[in-house]
A and B are shown apart, each in its own frame.
Chain A
């Protein structure tokens, strides 16, 4: 009566692979794969001697339950490899059609080469089968500049499209613009924006204004910083001090020649947005040293802001350029003086608050390893926009003096 369990498990993970040299062939191959899949499923039902005759509706095709289409533009071959690995790791958690595009030399001949992989496996948490597809496309020549038309036929209808651009996206190009328009969400890493990152911030804001949701891995990496700083002010004594910020200083890792300020600006922008500050003077170089200074305004009180470069890091734990090293706030209310700071210490963060010289709160948290997978997973989880980030980014762009 009941099918032997082993037999079921044998058919549990199934993989297909196909190759195509044009978009239409890719579409055909996909259809063929799912045709085969449905037959295999029917056959396995028949073999299992399932109670099919009594209830014809029980026979169901193999279902490709996708929740989104993920498009990855990998400008460098090593990025493509990394992206494929991450997409693979996330496949079962986010059943999706993933399209990884590796655009080649735009000046060469126009080429198109696609590998199509599909897999169905039993989900470990339920008895349902989860099917995923990955399409790896290499293009060459002029096509590399018109990727949106090449990708459009491969999108699953009605489902959200997330565009992941692991390297620095050319925000101002038409090429980028077309792809962003096709997508609902954009995933980037402000940590990889070139130069000081200011133009990247503006690019993200523009994409957001155009109606896309934007997820920034750089912002996501600030989560622990924000949480720790916020948790200091959960202390019943300190919550009343929060409106009295007098000074903000952010130390930024700067191993090279340019100081990447995307993260620091987002962090300061976040504080400004949450605490209702406005930007009165955007950042500029301080008269002495290589600090950057700006002024925020809380009501009529000026809050000086300082970004200080730190030639930090040695040994195995070198923080990436632009990473925050320390955030420090001074707060004054009446005669109470408060100093709240979050400091990076090797692989963890330490947050402390002193109230009139005595430490009243202390928190620690471990930094996530430097991997993109959890951040991509989070971005795919949250297809809706992150209101807090949107507001923070708006202020950050103002702070770096690029407001629209």
Chain B
């Protein structure tokens, strides 16, 4: 085949695993993690009251308490939960950070943060109640004595506030600090669940590739049990994502159609009209594959493709999700990457009504950067339900609009009966819009009311907004509450993380190899790439697209090669 080429001897970048061992590596990734259900004594009087959704009093220890995430998301979310009466009044928030601050200073700091970022305005009286349970402890993440100080402080709060030893450790720090915090928590025995529970919330990214994800999981699991670990991906806390489950498993008519017999292919789009919005440094390290594909898109894919879980319960749900990811072939030969993955980067152009710079011109971005702002790829879920049904995924920055959608494209009717019809009707389509305007659209053929017999596609469009108009809670509120209640359904289990990296990591590794070749001038010649998608990329292994368009031409070729088209959104 044209895509194969002689391997030139070269120093491989350190992260790259030799391709022969990839299969083995991904088989190793099939480690199984199960969370044990939480048991607490039943209180029969709680049934049917909101109390069923009110967790036991606990101390939330926020590591990185002065950081951006704490300010923008965590503190406002906890305050709003408290305001909505969903947290018991004894609840305590203990900030832990490097910066020297008194409790009172931290309260002022938190008040400012919450006032700025909360979806509802802060009421003075309510705030004062909340602030009473707000404390601060200074400490270094890497310093065991500081953790002993933390332990003493926690015990002191337990004694004063009857929080009964329940602790929720929230890692809102840069990922680099995760292992230090976890091991220090372990050293002073704060992972142990004696009187109450101890749980740890870890923010994404969970690792940088398969290797680092496994290292992180190992480090965490060295100290905590899987049942204590809550890996938060705020995307899963969104109302719509849970709607997806209700739509699939709360309705009887769709499930029979949900398979290779009726479905031609599935398209998942996560489009953003924004650029990188000043987060150049972060994005240079991440790229769309780490930022969106590994977590959000593969989550959506597994929710769409999963088998019905035996119960709407954390492990049953996650067992099915992880099974989908394992049914995706993790072996990426270079030819497969060339044929099924498109890497793109935006250049200067127009976004809506203003001119925007290209990615390489953004602040904190290497002017020679080869980081992808767009990824389109084709995946196949190799199981009985989905064999031969391709899943086309695309995501990008600076696309024409913000749109997250899953489209189930059904097969063409077997026979076109209406011969005199001037146009062929399109195949049926079921689209689930995640954002904005969450809703569900079904497209089917209808006769145009005339004497002749013209057939045209019409849309039946349901928007949640017009049937239920009310505020949905913030994703962080839902998830923090779930963690306190011990419901891990919407959190990512270790094996899910690893399975997802098992799919994405090899692709990134291949790109790194190409980048290395470009940097050292050893990339293959044009003839080598002929007939592949890389043909249109100008020889760089990365395809450029103008800001404000739906990605590079190669992305269109990727799907048109199979005789299909991207949906127009």
Contacts and interface: CB of A to CB of B under 8 A. Distances in A.
Contacts of B466: 63, 65, 95, 123, 126, 128-131
Contacts of B459: 57-58, 60
A227 interface: yes
Interface string A59-103: 010010101000000000000000000000000110100000000
B43 A388 contact: no
Contacts of A258: none
A39 interface: no
B418 interface: no
Nearest to A66: B467
Contacts of B89: 363
Given A57-B458, A60-B459, A126-B464, A230 B51 contact: yes
A226 B458 contact: no
B45 A229 contact: yes
A335 interface: no
A123 B44 contact: no
Contacts of A126: 436-438, 463-466, 469
Interface string B464-491: 1111111110000000000000000000
Interface stretch (A199-207, A232-240, A282-290): A232-240
Contacts of A229: 45
A351 to B, nearest CB: 12
A63 B464 CA distance: 13
Contacts of B49: 223, 226-227, 230, 388
Contact of B50 (A123, A227, A271, A386): A227
Interface residues on A, range: 35 or more
Nearest to B196: A236
B153 interface: no
A242 B43 CA distance: 8
Interface in A224-254: 226-227, 229-231, 233-236, 239-240, 242
Contact of B456 (A56, A124, A240, A389): A56
Contacts of B568: 55
Given A93-B470, A127-B437, A230 B465 contact: no
B105 interface: no
Contacts of B538: none
Interface in B253-297: none
B45 A242 contact: yes
A98 B164 CA distance: 50
A233 B43 contact: yes
A314 interface: no
A235 B195 CA distance: 13
Nearest to A1: B353
Contact of A128 (B45, B51, B164, B437): B437
Given A60-B459, A227-B49, A388-B48, A125 B471 contact: yes
A124 B469 contact: yes
A53 interface: no
Contacts of A223: 49-50
B457 interface: yes
A132 to B, nearest CB: 10
Contacts of A123: 465-466, 469
Contacts of B437: 126-128
A274 B47 CA distance: 8
A124 B472 CA distance: 12
Contacts of A234: 43, 46, 51, 56
A65 to B, nearest CB: 4
Most A CB within 10 A of own CB, among B436, B437, B462, B470: B470
A231 B469 contact: no
B41 interface: yes
B175 interface: no
Interface string A174-210: 0000000000000000000000000000000000000
Nearest to B439: A128
Nearest to A60: B461
A231 B443 contact: no
B88 interface: yes
Contacts of A63: 461, 466
Contact of A230 (B43, B88, B461, B464): B43
Most B CB within 10 A of own CB, among A57, A125, A130, A242: A57
Most A CB within 10 A of own CB, among B44, B89, B443: B44
A57 B45 CA distance: 53
Interface in A274-314: 274-275
Nearest to A54: B568
A157 interface: no
A242 B45 CA distance: 9
A393 to B, nearest CB: 13
Contact of A242 (B44, B48, B468, B469): B44
Contacts of B46: 230, 234
A74 to B, nearest CB: 26
Nearest to B43: A233
B162 to A, nearest CB: 8
Contact of B41 (A127, A239, A271, A363): A239
B475 to A, nearest CB: 15
A1 B191 CA distance: 59
Interface in A130-172: 130-131
A180 to B, nearest CB: 24
B47 A388 contact: yes
Most B CB within 10 A of own CB, among A92, A123, A127: A123
Most B CB within 10 A of own CB, among A92, A231, A234, A388: A234
A92 B468 CA distance: 9
A201 B110 CA distance: 50
Contact of B45 (A65, A124, A233): A233
Contacts of A93: 469-470
A57 to B, nearest CB: 5
Contacts of A365: 85
A160 B51 CA distance: 28
Nearest to A223: B49
Contact of A57 (B56, B436, B456): B456
Contact of A274 (B44, B54, B470): B44
Nearest to B48: A388
A163 B162 CA distance: 46
A388 B56 CA distance: 22
A56 B85 CA distance: 48
A244 B88 CA distance: 25
A224 to B, nearest CB: 9
A234 B456 CA distance: 61
Nearest to B448: A56
B553 to A, nearest CB: 21
Contacts of A275: 44-45
A394 B466 CA distance: 38
Nearest to A67: B467
B402 to A, nearest CB: 13
A236 B470 CA distance: 37
A294 B45 CA distance: 21
Nearest to A360: B162
A6 B89 CA distance: 46
Interface in A109-129: 123-129
A125 B470 contact: yes
A127 B436 contact: yes
Contacts of B462: 65
Nearest to B458: A57
Contacts of A67: 467-468
A57 B47 contact: no
A-B pairs, top 10 by smallest CB distance, nearest first, are A126-B465, A388-B48, A230-B45, A128-B465, A128-B466, A123-B469, A128-B463, A65-B466, A274-B44, A57-B459
Given A126-B464, A126-B469, A231-B54, 14 more contacts: A56-B456, A60-B461, A93-B470, A125-B465, A126-B465, A128-B463, A128-B466, A130-B466, A230-B43, A234-B43, A234-B51, A239-B41, A242-B44, A386-B48
18 contacts: A67-B467, A95-B467, A124-B469, A126-B463, A126-B464, A126-B465, A128-B437, A128-B463, A128-B465, A128-B466, A131-B466, A227-B50, A230-B46, A230-B49, A235-B162, A239-B43, A242-B44, A242-B45
